[in-house]
Structure 1
Amino acid sequence: MTLEWTVEGSERLLSDRWMNLRVDHCRTPKGRSISPYYVLDYPDWVVIVALTEAHELVMVEQYRHGVAKVLLELPAGAAELTDQDMEVSARRELLEETGFAADRWTLISSLYANPATQSNRLHIFLAEGARKVGDQQLDRGEEGMIVHVKPLDEIVPLLATGIIGQAMHVAGLLLALAARR
């Protein structure tokens, strides 16, 4: 028996440069109507676990309006439609947000961000040999972003405290650390 729903209709409610909101009218395999069902279409995202040769993690501190808090996070951002691949996006985001570049890049995993209501994927990269090469080149919404370089052994104990409050970044960090072992 299939678990997949049938989409009987779909309407775009909002279209913006960063996301689209659509409403789907669905039917389950047993014939139940699931309507309305709202879906957010975002571009894919990249998250970068950037480590220096001294085993320090490059992080950013920034305001997140959705929760009205300042959070400590990994460098991350949306992929551009013109990017050839996700590594191009990851390299650009690391440079723009932190002024850092890295020598060795590894795609650790590609996961769905929130498959219940979002269509995009999250691509987690390990960037080793990170070093400062320039200044930040921040977008308007990133104003005031602060770069932190912290010893990796100080970060792991913080993961359960919520100080690093972005769940996808915690997952990315744990996956990258596991891949290094």
Structure 2
Amino acid sequence: MDIKWQRLSSETIIKDRWIDLRADECRTPNGQEISPYYVLNYPDWVHVVAITQSDELVLVRQYRHGAQDVFLELPAGTVDANDSSPEVSARRELEEETGYQAAELLLISSLFPNPAIQSNRVHTYLAIGVQPTGTRKLDAGEEGMTVHLLPVREALANLQGGILPQSLHVASLMLALSVSGHLSLPASLDAPK
């Protein structure tokens, strides 16, 4: 049985540089109509888990207006329309925000941040061979962003306490640390049953 909804119509409610909100008129497989069903269309995002030779995470600290607070985060950003791939975006965001470059980027995952109401994916990259270049190019709204090096062990020890308050960043970090060998899961958790 097909469980996908049928989209009967779609109307853009607002679209500018910050938000692209549409209202869909939908019909479920059993015939129930749901209208309006709001969907946020965002471009894909990238998260970069960059680890130095000294086993430190390269993080940024910046103001987030939705929460009206300052947060420690992974270098991250939008996949721009002129970027040829999410990897290009990840390289760009890492250097623009932190002044670091990676010798290699390894794609860890491409997941949906909130598929109930968002159309985009977040691509997580592990940055290998990270070196400082000293070249940063902050976007509008990133004034005051600072770069911080945090030992991986310290970050892991303080995750539950909220050292990285964004759940999507925590998920990206845990996936990348698992792949990098910094975090191992018990054998009983390694494979689905």
What is the TM-score when the length of structure 2 is the normalising length?
A: 0.91
- Kindly indicate whether the alpha-carbon contact (under 8 Å) linking 1:53 and 1:128 is maintained by their aligned counterparts in 2: no
The aligned counterpart of 1:22 is: 22
The aligned counterpart of 1:117 is: 117
State the 1:59 CA deviation: 0.3
State the 1:135 CA deviation: 3.0
- Kindly indicate whether the alpha-carbon contact (under 8 Å) linking 1:18 and 1:43 is maintained by their aligned counterparts in 2: no
State the 1:165 CA deviation: 0.8
The aligned counterpart of 2:67 is: 67
The aligned counterpart of 1:38 is: 38
Could you report, residue by residue, the CA deviation over 1:9-60 in whole angstroms, capped at 9, with x for unpaired residues?
1000111124311000101111111111100000000000001111110000
- Kindly indicate whether the alpha-carbon contact (under 8 Å) linking 1:43 and 1:120 is maintained by their aligned counterparts in 2: yes
The aligned counterpart of 1:147 is: 147
The aligned counterpart of 2:169 is: 169
Residues in 2 aligned to 1:140 and 1:30: alpha-carbon distance in whole angstroms: 47
- Give me the CA root mean square deviation: 0.9
- Kindly indicate whether the alpha-carbon contact (under 8 Å) linking 1:57 and 1:152 is maintained by their aligned counterparts in 2: yes
Residues in 2 aligned to 1:141 and 1:76: alpha-carbon distance in whole angstroms: 14
Q: Where does structure 1 lack aligned partners over 5 or more consecutive residues?
A: none
Q: Which range is displaced more, 129-138 or 25-34?
A: 129-138
Residues in 2 aligned to 1:159 and 1:144: alpha-carbon distance in whole angstroms: 24
State the 1:134 CA deviation: 1.8
SS in 2 for 1:141: coil
What is the TM-score when the length of structure 1 is the normalising length?
A: 0.97
The aligned counterpart of 1:132 is: 132
Query: Paired residues, what number?
Result: 181
Q: Which runs of 4+ in 1 moved over 6 A?
A: none
